[in-house]
Structure 1
Amino acid sequence: DEFIDDKMHGLGVHTYASGAQYDGEYKDDKKHGHGVYTFPNDDRYDGAYKDDKKYGHGAYRYKNGERYDGEYKDGRIHGCGVYTYPNGTKYKVSYKNDRVLSQTPI
């Protein structure tokens, strides 16, 4: 872990009291750049962060096998992506602030 002025900066790994873990880039003590966040329930986000929030392209894998691979903005699913179910069914999905605007089978 790297620190500048007592703030995490650069690459680092942080394990939270909840059991969640973040392994990735930091800037001014915030998740910023690429990182992998594993939740206590084994859900996992692998993608970009900006100012401690999911931002840009990322892939979220749910414990139940579902997966979203697409765009995020300000910590929310926002933009286009592909949602895949455990049985292999895929949808092209458009989101705005975590709400589905449209979905089309692929």
Structure 2
Amino acid sequence: MELIDLQCNSELKVKFREVHYDEFIPMFEKQYPQYPWKEVEAEIFCAFKELFQAASSRPAPNGIGSYPSSRAIYAVDLMLKWSTGQNGEHLFFERKKGR
């Protein structure tokens, strides 16, 4: 893990920790043993799939149109957020039956 200085503007200096994927997973699973990373990752991938299915379900300009010559690459910066369950417990995602 390395510390990175980013100059956000001329007055504010922010330090971020860059954690590479292969370091992140063991750290995550140690901190949140009740959430195996493979399950969290599967939910994230499912959300991405649903996003692109919805975005391509309508023709352009309302959706992402088909363009066979496209070599587009999509990237996502992702932040995980806690949700609150019915009993006040912290959840990364609601566990859905059948998934």
TM-score by length of 2: 0.23
Structure with the larger helix share: 2
Q: Determine which structure has more spread, i.e. the larger CA radius of gyration.
A: 2
Structure with the larger strand share: 1
